[in-house]
Amino acid sequence: MIGLPEAFSGMIYDTASMSTLHAIAAAREGLDLRVREDGMSGRTDLPLLRLYASEQAHSSVEKGLITLGLGQRSLRKIPTDKQFRMDSRALAKVATRSPSLTSSRHNPDRTDGSSSTTNT
């Protein structure tokens, strides 16, 4: 129907919000924190998970973090240049200074990459 090769495997989402939500959930599950089994509420053994995203990232990134119980505090927005590309130097600088890299209670495990912006 849409011309994908027979060898295609994966999922096609109808919205950025759903694909982002599932990507964040999959990343969280990949850390083996037993969230599926034990939940997150009241647990003191969980690290603060960090997600680095462009300041131009789709609003679904922040909404996904909220929905999945990670909270807005987990999101670090990285500045962009005049062409709306994530500033890799700013990312390196923030990641180097981030408490998530110096504390065993934080996990700087994910960066949200995008090929464009939704704000223009």
- pTM comes to 0.75
**Would you state the pLDDT for residue 3?**
87
**Residues 5-30: tens digit of each pLDDT:** 999 988 889 998 999 999 999 989 88
CA-CA distance, 11 to 19, in Å (whole number)?
9
Domain ranges of the chain: 47-120
